[in-house]
Amino acid sequence: MRAIQLPGGGELPVLGQGTWGMGERRGQRAAEVAALRRGLDLGLGLIDTAEMYGSGGAEEVVGAAISGRRDEVFLVSKVYPHNASRRGAVEACERSLRRLGTDHLDLYLLHWRGSTPLAETMDAFEQLRADGKIRRFGVSNFDPADMDELFAGELGRRSATDQVLYNLTRRGVEVDLLPWCRERRLPVMAYSPIEQGRLLGEPALRRVAERHEATPAQIAIAWVLAQDGVCAIPKAATPEHVDQNRAALDIELTAADLAELDAAFPAPKRPVPLEVL
């Protein structure tokens, strides 16, 4: 598995497994657990979840999937903004750890900006790190102005990543946020790399896929993985889908492929508000 160096040491796998939408229907639990465990079999140890997903249900699914295999996992979860106070973040993290059946997270993120001052959230994260409950912390859905404010504080500068929406149809981050992060060697985690499936019928994507004997989804993921300093966390709810996602890691897009995709999905020329789903 290729990896990106994390600030302060350690590595972030470039391809992982997302869990948005998991844990919402009990009848799908076994399939979701099987999908995540298949990912572990294939080396997809990066698993991203959040207390928001399924109101904790996704974390319970992840906990079942990683039971007995914790040492294979780079585990990420996220705290609600309304739980991000000094006391609230600690308590929220402890609840997440119980649902996940583990004693620590490899990475804990503030899910998006809220009313709690960033310095207070960072204090809570640092306490969790000092107590061994998390190894690293970071943020999600932060735009460049948010990142400037975050990095104005000493603890904020210890952040390990910014997780944002990024795919062929959502390229606004290339104008300002990606350069900001690359300058500081801060990895970016791309969620929804296939835009929840909405871009898969695009002709250019299909043409490139045909040349590689791949699926449009695999090409969309491969395009994200071709970006410097970016990892992708696509969700897959079945083992077969996981197999397809893993195969995207082996696709090498040519200069002609990238040019065709760039022409079909051009990046904006000027800054745009950070997009979210």
DSSP category for residue 274: P
| Given the residues 53, 108, 166, 191, the one annotated as active site | 53
pLDDT for the residue numbered 232: 98
**109 in helix, strand or coil?**
strand
pLDDT for the residue numbered 1: 87
How far apart, in whole angstroms, are the C-alpha atoms of residue 135 and residue 107? 6
Write the CB contacts of 183 (distance below 8 Å, at least 6 apart in sequence).
none
Radius of gyration, alpha carbons of the chain: 18
Active site residue 53: yes
How far apart, in whole angstroms, are the C-alpha atoms of residue 188 and residue 230? 5
First and final C-alpha spacing in the chain: 28
Tokens, residue 174 = 């290339």
Tokens, residue 85 = 């106070």
Write the CB contacts of 118 (distance below 8 Å, at least 6 apart in sequence).
110, 149, 150, 153, 156
How far apart, in whole angstroms, are the C-alpha atoms of residue 76 and residue 215? 28
List, for the chain, all residue ranges whose pLDDT scores fall below the cut of 70.
none
pLDDT for the residue numbered 12: 96
pLDDT for the residue numbered 95: 98
In this predicted model, what pLDDT tens digit does every residue of 200-258 receive, in sequence order?
899 999 999 999 999 999 999 999 999 999 999 999 989 999 999 999 999 999 999 99
pLDDT for the residue numbered 11: 96
- Answer left, alpha or beta for residue 101, where phi above 0 means left and psi between -120 and 50 means alpha: left
Phi, psi angles (nearest 5°) of residue 264: -80, -30
Tokens, residue 168 = 């062929």
Q: Which of the four CATH numbers 1.10.1040.10, 3.30.565.10, 3.90.950.10, 3.20.20.100 does domain 3-201+228-239 have? A: 3.20.20.100
Report domain extents, the chain: 3-201+228-239
Tell me whether strands 3-5 and 230-232 are parallel, antiparallel or unpaired: unpaired
Amino acid, single-letter form, for residue 257: D
How far apart, in whole angstroms, are the C-alpha atoms of residue 2 and residue 11? 9
Amino acid, single-letter form, for residue 80: Y
Put the strands of the sheet holding 162-165 in their side by side order: 16-18, 46-48, 74-79, 107-110, 137-140, 162-165, 188-191, 230-232
pLDDT for the residue numbered 89: 98
Burial 93-112, CB ≥16 within 10 A → b, else e: beebbebbbbebbbbbbbbb
Q: Is 104 annotated as a binding residue?
A: no
